[in-house]
Amino acid sequence: MFVYRACLSVCFNHFILLGLLVKILCKTRAILRKIEKKVCAMRKLLIIQPEPESAALLQRALDERGLTVCQVVPVMPKDDEGAQVIAIMRRDDPSAASATYVIEPPYRFGHLLDVIKNLQDKNDNPLRRVYASCALDTAHCLFFTPDQPDGIRLTEKEKDILLYLSECDPQSPVTKEALLEGVWGFNQNVETHTLETHVYRLRQKIEKNPAKPLFLITKDDGYIFQRD
């Protein structure tokens, strides 16, 4: 009788353990499905073209170029979580609030292709940082703008300057001392003039009009990298 009860107890414990394992497996499977769904969404590139006829023509043009990852829709879908979104509309349009990139019409089709390429590269290469008005490839020391889609070659220090500034709040200028320490490290032999020379040469490269810079801006108390 004792052996019989012991066997029942063991079987009952195994049954409870099996039930717990099944619950854990079910929860794990559900979590994996959510992760898979989110990953798939991140690979999706939505293009919001408000005019249905233009959306159909644009979809056909992208399909002909093999860009099947792009889906052109006339309105912002509700289930766009995790997706990269390009909105072709005015910036003051509230439906474009969650867009990754906004293109104001009229626009060149080539510019749209550049934006798509940059967003794809951002997903494939975390070392390429894509912003609203430019992109920085830290692996190859290249800076991209709509006027320079093939990239502008930077030196290692020039890339480091933009990279350091990109990680700071664009509304709060970075002082020269902080930028010197962040890029060159603690080196008493490096003077402010060295930084100013690098900034001047960098601005000559990346700015269309260095006298009126759009990206690397000097403030009274430091520098900011305007990338939005």
pLDDT single digits (tens) 177-224 = 889 888 887 665 677 888 899 999 999 999 999 999 999 999 888 999
Q: Residue 43: its pLDDT value, please? A: 46
Q: Residue 103: its pLDDT value, please? A: 79
Which of these, 35, 34, 58, lies nearest to 46 by C-alpha position?
58
Residues 171 and 80 in one domain: no
Copy the structure tokens of residue 157: 């220090």
pLDDT single digits (tens) 75-93 = 776 655 556 777 787 666 6
CATH (domain of 48): 3.40.50.2300
Query: Quick check: 164 and 179 in contact, CB under 8 A?
Result: yes
Task: Quote the number of domains for the chain.
Answer: 2
Can you tell me the distance from the alpha carbon of 199 to that of 191, in angstroms, rounded to the nearest whole number?
13
pLDDT of residue 49 exceeding 90 = no
pLDDT single digits (tens) 4-41 = 455 555 555 555 666 665 566 555 555 444 434 443 34
Q: Residue 5: its pLDDT value, please? A: 54
- For residue 120, the enclosing domain spans 41-124
Residues 110 and 141 in one domain: no
Boundary residue ending a domain (70, 100, 124): 124
Sheet holding 101-103, edge to edge: 70-73, 45-48, 84-88, 101-103
Can you tell me the distance from the alpha carbon of 170 to that of 180, in angstroms, rounded to the nearest whole number?
17
Instruction: Write down the H helix ranges in 44-148.
Output: 52-64, 109-124
Residues 142 and 218 in one domain: yes
Sheet holding 148-153, edge to edge: 128-130, 135-137, 142-145, 148-153
Which residue would you say has higher pLDDT here, 120 or 10? 120
Residues 92 and 148 in one domain: no
Q: Residue 190: its pLDDT value, please? A: 72
Q: Residue 199: its pLDDT value, please? A: 94
Average pLDDT over residues 55-72: 82
pLDDT over 70, % of the chain: 67
Model's pTM, two decimal places? 0.48
Report the SS3 class of residue 158: helix
Which residue would you say has higher pLDDT here, 226 or 228? 226
